[in-house]
Chain A
Amino acid sequence: MSTTETQLHKDHEVPVKTEVDYLPATQDFQHEYDDETQLSTVRAEAMTFFGVADHKDRDVHEFFLEFEGKRVTNLSQTLEQLIGRDRPHAKFNLVEQITPGAR
């Protein structure tokens, strides 16, 4: 990317107002991210806000983001790659997946 292209790209950069809902919580997680932010960062910071963590007991407990009703599987994606360029808002749900282990 040339300097001019880079400048143009930066001129177009709009922070993405990001919201994450979690069903038991009264507040959303809200943060403005650069659109180059990886979804793993959004997930991790939302989980911290909601006081939850991936963990293992007899089962495996993992939290994932849903966007427009679909599970986000590629956390190395950026916000821009997921929602498209110049979209100023992204709304996710945080949901827990419990995979049963040995009983």
Chain B
Amino acid sequence: MTQDGPYPAIDRWVIPADALSETLRGVGQAGQRGVESGALWLGRRGLRSIVSAVVLPRGEGVIELPQRWHVSPEVYGVVSRWASPRSLVLLAMVHIHGDDDVAMSWSDRNRVVQVPGMLSIIIGNGGTDGDHNDWGWYLYDNGAYRPLSEAERLNRIEITTGSHAAVWVADDATVTEGVPE
């Protein structure tokens, strides 16, 4: 954990419990339709990185299919322009799988943001697995995603009710606060 520059080292991710519940709520409808969906978790990055925003990509520029969730560069651009003045950065990407397999596929490893310290989280059973202990937790480390061991996850992932995450919806034009319809 020595990386500096644009990707400061992270010892611990602090994730508000409502970020988990709002993410599950945000992907629930897609899960019921049998397609993949997901969320972006943004916040302040540092040794203790705190998630403070759940961004749900929706509409134009977002593809939700049975084995594919894709967010277009244009949507990422909109989120980037929105996040920058708020000093928010992308800390994690969360997406659902239709079955109970939360292992990373080739696409999950390679068709995503790949920078040091990025988390990728997979929720099984179409997003109905409410227990985050059952989710797949992966960290981009030394040039590849690797699973967080249970011990490392317990040590480095802190789920808290002491802080709050706001929910936002992003498309290829704007980011607006609130849950999707």
Binds A, one of B11-19, B20-28, B108-116: B108-116
Task: Judge whether B6 and A22 touch: CB under 8 Å.
Answer: yes
Task: Judge whether B6 and A95 touch: CB under 8 Å.
Answer: no
Find chain B residues with CB under 8 A from A95 CB: 73-74, 76-77, 80
Given known A52-B115, A96-B113, contact A25–B73 (CB-CB < 8 A):
no
Number of contacts between A and B (CB, 8 Å)? 73
Task: Judge whether B80 and A23 touch: CB under 8 Å.
Answer: yes
CB distance from A27 to the nearest CB of B (A): 5
Binds B, one of A7-15, A57-65, A73-81: A57-65
Task: Judge whether B73 and A26 touch: CB under 8 Å.
Answer: no
Q: How far is B118's CA from A51's CA once the two chains are assembled, in angstroms?
A: 14
Does B66 lie at the interface of the complex (its beta carbon under 8 Å from any beta carbon of A)? no
Task: Judge whether B81 and A69 touch: CB under 8 Å.
Answer: yes
Find chain A residues with CB under 8 A from B90 CB: 23-24
The number of chain B residues touching the other chain, given as a range, is 20 to 34
Task: Judge whether A26 and B8 touch: CB under 8 Å.
Answer: yes
The 0/1 profile, CB within 8 Å of A marked 1, for residues 57-90 of chain B is 0000000000000000110111111011000011
Look across to chain A and name the residue whose beta carbon is closest to the beta carbon of B73.
A95
Find chain B residues with CB under 8 A from A23 CB: 76, 79-80, 83, 89-90, 113
Does A33 lie at the interface of the complex (its beta carbon under 8 Å from any beta carbon of B)? no
CB distance from B145 to the nearest CB of A (A): 14
Secondary structure at the B interface, as helix, strand, loop or mixed, is mixed
Task: Judge whether A59 and B111 touch: CB under 8 Å.
Answer: yes
Look across to chain A and name the residue whose beta carbon is closest to the beta carbon of B116.
A51
The number of chain A residues touching the other chain, given as a range, is 20 to 34
Q: How far is B116's CA from A95's CA once the two chains are assembled, in angstroms?
A: 17
Find chain A residues with CB under 8 A from B97 CB: none
Q: How far is B118's CA from A56's CA once the two chains are assembled, in angstroms?
A: 21
Find chain B residues with CB under 8 A from A64 CB: 73
- Which residue from A26, A52, A58, A98 sits with its C-beta under 8 Å from B89? A26
Does A34 lie at the interface of the complex (its beta carbon under 8 Å from any beta carbon of B)? no
Q: How far is B111's CA from A27's CA once the two chains are assembled, in angstroms?
A: 23
User: Residue among A22, A24, A49 with the most chain B CB within 10 A?
Assistant: A24
Task: Show 20 A/B contacts (Cβ-Cβ < 8 Å), sorted by A.
Answer: A21-B84, A22-B80, A23-B76, A23-B79, A26-B7, A26-B45, A27-B6, A49-B6, A50-B115, A51-B7, A51-B115, A52-B115, A59-B111, A64-B73, A66-B77, A69-B78, A93-B77, A95-B76, A96-B73, A96-B113
